[in-house]
């Protein structure tokens, strides 16, 4: 009589037991939910006050850009009236313009004199998608230089503060773009540490693949009292990392709108980024 080894059956029993455990955990183990932050109303009011204070501003920073193409040290000048107006210029130590990025509600342009090229797009996000590898909203980029959560996100119905370990997360998901934003803050004293933005769907509507994520870090964390500007901001994108040491940040009462008008440069190549 042939005797069948029990060893294969033991492996089948172990495999079945393992699968049963995995399935039961998937069904029974709940996804961890973090509690709402108990002082959310107070924190929200402070963040709104900070956003109102820095509604229009100018900033000067020493920046270092690290990318595959090389490392650069430049001086940057930013004039902004968020959410959709900004002018961001960079010069080398000799004072020569390296780029001029101008965004307004109707259009966006990036002039790069060394290349003899001016890039145009309908939105600022399209400019950032091309050069940063991800479509950063202009308001998020501009407000990073003053340590502000854009008020249009703070005012969203589904924006929420949750308590997670020793930090507070301000979370918002943009249904239209499928973006998820998470601002990290220290609770007491209240200070803004960072932003992480990512999207669950990495494909654009036209089917092209884009690494749709970036982060912004404040060193040290920015106290949320309105008058306190950041000292250093680090913006990390798929294509480059920008470190900006703020030399001067000035609150403005008003700024002429023509500052954000597209500039006309003759004798250069114009590239429309909206065209395939």
CATH number of the structural domain spanning residue 243 = 2.50.20.10
What's the mean per-residue pLDDT of the chain?
87
Q: Where are the alpha helices (DSSP H) in the chain?
A: 7-28, 40-53, 124-132, 138-143, 151-154
Domain presence at residue 31: no
Per-residue confidence band for 177, with pLDDT thresholds at 50, 70 and 90: low
**Residue 57: pLDDT above 60?**
yes
In a domain, 137, yes or no: yes
Q: Is the pLDDT of residue 127 over 60?
A: yes
Is 19 contained in some domain? Answer: no
In a domain, 24, yes or no: no
Contacts of 7 (CB under 8 A, 6+ apart): none
SS3 for 192-223 is EEEEEEEECCCECCCCCECCCEEEEEEEEEEE
Question: What pLDDT is stored for residue 201 in this prediction?
Answer: 59
Residue 53 lies in a domain: yes
pLDDT tens sequence across 198-225: 986 544 544 455 557 999 999 999 999 9
Our count of domains for the chain comes to 1
Q: Provide the domain limits for residue 194.
A: 40-272
- Does 154 fall in a domain? yes
Q: Look-up: residue for tokens 């699968």?
A: 19
Q: Is residue 244 part of a domain?
A: yes
Q: Name the percent of the chain lying above pLDDT 90.
A: 72
pLDDT, mean of residues 153-158: 93
Beta bridge partners of 161: 170
Most confident stretch, 17-21, 166-170, 197-201: 166-170
Is 10 part of any domain?
no
């Amino acid at each position: 009589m042939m005797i069948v080894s029990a060893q294969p059956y033991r492996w089948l029993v172990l495999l079945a037991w393992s699968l049963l455990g995995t399935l039961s955990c998937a069904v029974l183990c709940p996804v961890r939910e973090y509690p709402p932050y108990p002082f959310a109303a107070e924190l929200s009011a402070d963040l709104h006050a900070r956003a109102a204070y820095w509604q229009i501003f100018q900033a000067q920073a020493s920046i270092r850009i690290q990318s595959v193409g090389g490392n650069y040290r430049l001086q940057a000048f930013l004039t902004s009236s968020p959410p959709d107006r900004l002018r961001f210029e960079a010069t080398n130590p000799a004072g020569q313009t390296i780029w001029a990025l101008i965004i307004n509600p109707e259009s966006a342009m990036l002039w790069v004199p060394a290349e003899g090229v001016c890039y145009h797009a309908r939105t600022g996000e399209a400019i950032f998608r091309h050069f940063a590898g991800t479509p950063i909203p202009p308001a998020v980029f501009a407000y990073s230089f003053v340590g502000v959560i854009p008020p249009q996100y703070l005012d969203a119905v589904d924006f929420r503060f949750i308590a997670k370990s020793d930090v507070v997360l301000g979370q918002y998901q943009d249904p239209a773009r499928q973006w998820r934003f998470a601002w990290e803050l220290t609770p007491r004293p209240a200070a803004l540490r960072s932003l992480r933005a990512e999207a669950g769907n990495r494909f654009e509507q036209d089917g092209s693949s884009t690494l749709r994520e970036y982060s912004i870090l404040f060193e040290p964390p920015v106290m949320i009292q309105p008058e306190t500007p950041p000292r250093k901001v680090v913006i990390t994108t798929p294509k480059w990392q920008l470190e900006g040491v703020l030399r001067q940040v000035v609150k403005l009462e008003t700024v002429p709108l023509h500052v954000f008008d597209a500039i006309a440069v003759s004798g250069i190549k114009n590239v429309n980024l909206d065209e395939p």
